[in-house]
Structure 1
Amino acid sequence: MEMPEKGSIYVVDIKLLAEEEGELPPSGTYFRKIVIRALRSVDPLTIRSVLSSGLPITVSPFYRGPYPHVRCPAGPLPIVRGQEYKVRVVSSSSQVGEILRGWLSSRQRVVIEGVPLEYRESRVSEVSWDEIYSEEAVWSFRVRFLTPTSFRRSTTPYCRLFPLPSMLFGRLAAIWRRVSPYEAPDLREFVRWADLSVVETGYDLCTIPPVRVDGEDLVGFLGWVNFKVIEHPNWSPDEHEELAAWTARLLRMGELTGVGAGRTHGMGIIRFIPKPGINREGEA
């Protein structure tokens, strides 16, 4: 394969201090509006370019731990005066973090749903596509669904509330085709492989009440699912090895892009946890 031009995904981690008590919804919709307004006021050309790219700006819900995480039963996040809260912004542009830092520093505070928050600091990190593409085959793994996740269906307005392998990896592969400089596997063949070769071996999921996301109410699920790759006879061992590597690449990307409905508003944030030392026969 011809090597593509290098590129990166940029993650901006922002810390804010609550000045009053209150509640914030488990969605990135409200802070995303502030991000878009800030970028448009400072550099409209950059925001136009980013919004039209394959990787539009993604904003997480507010959180307190090491990464965004909404817990069952999902509800508004209680805000305690004097505590720090975080929000994460992901984009394809290195300029987004610098623009946001300057804009927030000049204003010192933002108000979300009536809750004033003082800007403390922001940090920008870079994840290269080379790093994501270097993932090796994984045969057993867990996916944690950290924020409400659902998958739209073309035949009904009701979303699917379970991560079927064909749907999960099909949606991730479609995102990869839009945003990555590396060529993706054939989408139809990969979805067929995931349907026949990736199985669920356990799960603990809950569904949550509707969350307001960009003008619509989305129902989603939270929790974890364990998956295992089995060698279906329709594919050779070498093909299984390559496609199992693609599951790892797609899930690493998915930790940054999210997956499913409302992902640019903080829905569908996942965490990929490979089970180390497990070989293709499922043995340690």
Structure 2
Amino acid sequence: MKVLVIVGSSRGKGNTYKVTKQLEEKIKELGDVEFKYLFLKETNLEQCRGCFTCVTRGEHLCPIKDDRAKIEEQMLNSDGVIFASPVYVYNITALMKNFIDRFGYVSHRPLFFNQSAMAVTTSSGGGIKETLNYLESIILSWGFNFVYKLGVITHPYLIHTPRYTDEIENNINKAARIFYNSLKTKERKSPGLGYLIQFRMMRIHAIDTKEYFTADYKYYKEKGLLDRGKKYFIDSKINIFKNMFAGMIEKLIIRSMSKSLS
């Protein structure tokens, strides 16, 4: 099994990298897993220009020619991806944010349904919850099977105390077990209500704006997702009541749009 670690630290091999290496060691104790590290500070990934072309017409028409497509291929060829970013002023780093911006089209056209993912962050104090929650929302919108959030406070006052060191080790052990099991079993979590509604809203959007968002419409059409019977991007176990509620929301949106156009 192959795991790609995407490191968004400006330092490269700082605290976040060290925590991820500890996680790697624990995962390798559980089975045969190959790790590869992608340091964004060393990657040819130019800053997003905000032209929106990747979203509307397709990522292949992006005017920037760098390693974006190669990184996408690396993620697709992995069984799991770990997104690792330290906290910079209560959120991810600029490097990680630009990485996410460059893959903005994937939130419209999810790709990574066969990959597990988790998020890792470190901080000397605050911002861990906000950073992990943000990463989780992005990773889920890209189609990943998101399984765990690992946050570690690395303040010098705490990091060398035995009690806190034991707590960190326990958290890393737990993260390793959960992530490894997701790689091994390939079992996906059932999509939550919010993502069932999001799927239906994105489908409505793709149909209603097909002349402008041509890439989205093509994605939904080629994958057979324009069929109203489709409940989600992929076949998955879906709670019947959540599905019914998402369907009701979809009908209300369509009805509201019809009235506004009449």
What TM-score do the two structures reach when normalised by structure 2?
A: 0.28
Comparing both structures, which one devotes a greater share of its residues to strand? 1
Q: Which structure shows the higher helix fraction?
A: 2
TM-score, length-scaled by structure 1: 0.27
